[in-house]
Amino acid sequence: PVKRVLSSRNARRIGAVALVALAGSAAVAYAVFSSVPGRIQVAPVSMVVHSATALPAEVQALEAGTAPWLFDRDTRTAHVAFADQHIDANLDRPTEIRAIKVYGPAPYELTVAALQGGTWTPIPGLSGLKLGRLDQGWNEFTASQPVTAQTLRFELTLVAGAKGKTAASGGLAELEI
């Protein structure tokens, strides 16, 4: 039998063919996964925090600094709003919003609105959600009418008696879209 040693040129060709084959199978796997009915979690690509103007600049900066923790997939961190605020979250593309999940109780009422045609429209079923008595784990809220949007607004209204809550005593641990 004749042994054939691969030249570096042939090895590169075989490697390239293997990569193309892998990429093709990955694309197929993705297509199959994304076509399966169900839910896909999305995270914002950017956020803007609108703190209450009456708050000192240092507190507004603290709120802006903890807002990304809402979507960091770590339920041990928490965003704290010291007064009513809203957070505008931009997604990478228009997405059908069917539900949100909130981890644990928080001293806020939450309304989720979608930017549609230049106007903020509350998403049906995701308005006035009272977060104070939620279970310690994940809590799901389903939109009664799904909405497609690329920008969402999370309006946090501090519940009476909850003023000055800290992360340890009642911030909002995590959100999933």
Give the C-alpha separation, 157 to 167, whole Å.
16
Q: pLDDT digit string (tens) for 91-137?
A: 999 999 999 999 999 999 999 999 999 999 999 999 999 999 999 99
Q: Which positions ≥6 away from 159 have C-beta within 8 Å? A: 107, 108, 109, 130, 132
State yes or no: pLDDT of 22 exceeds 70: no
Q: In whole angstroms, how far apart are CA 123 and each of 91, 128, 148? A: 16, 10, 10
